[in-house]
Homo-oligomer: A and B are copies of this chain.
């Protein structure tokens, strides 16, 4: 009976306004009025789609996490579909995706770090940011094992722990990149150096 609108589209637009504001002014700078202005809608509409500011932010963060996961998945598929379908290429592509090479990646990376900060004192947010239950780790461990086999070098070490380290290292480098303490290229070089050690130096 009502005016028919695309709810998902509305929420996504609001979420993107929250992202933009968070990047520009931090999570504390996200207010109902500013989000409305940023999205170019009335404050009434914002309230209509979110019961409270807190819920609005949570929705925006949830969507950001989903977008980040989607990007990793996409980059893996893109690498796997290329002519070079070696495990090593996929592994690199997958890890580098976390360092914010392109613009959207950089935005999501900086957004993640901004949310990390708030999640320290907000368990609800921390839960939203929590990584997948080992699925990604399994995938990465498989890629590491595969890449080692490709190189034909014998390397001691549990692939799962090595995968864990790779992601933790990517996180640490990502923080530096997000804060402007390191360029993306420098971070990729460091991560590449580490991978050489993990896969067995040629």
Contact = CB atoms under 8 A, between A and B. Distances in A.
Contacts of A158: 193
Q: Is the interface of A mostly helix, strand, loop or mixed?
A: helix
A115 B27 CA distance: 12
A35 B180 CA distance: 30
Interface in A176-191: 176, 178-181, 190
A157 interface: yes
A103 interface: no
Given A165-B193, A172-B171, A120 B156 contact: no
Interface stretch (A6-14, A65-73, A84-92, A126-134): A126-134
B179 A175 contact: no
A80 interface: no
A173 interface: yes
Interface in A10-26: 22-26
Nearest to A110: B120
A100 B153 CA distance: 37
Interface in A124-157: 126, 129-131, 156-157
A40 interface: no
Contacts of A120: 23, 26, 110, 113-114, 117, 178-179
Nearest to A30: B28
Contacts of A173: 168, 172
14 contacts: A22-B121, A23-B120, A26-B117, A26-B122, A27-B28, A114-B120, A117-B117, A126-B180, A126-B181, A130-B179, A165-B190, A171-B175, A172-B173, A172-B174
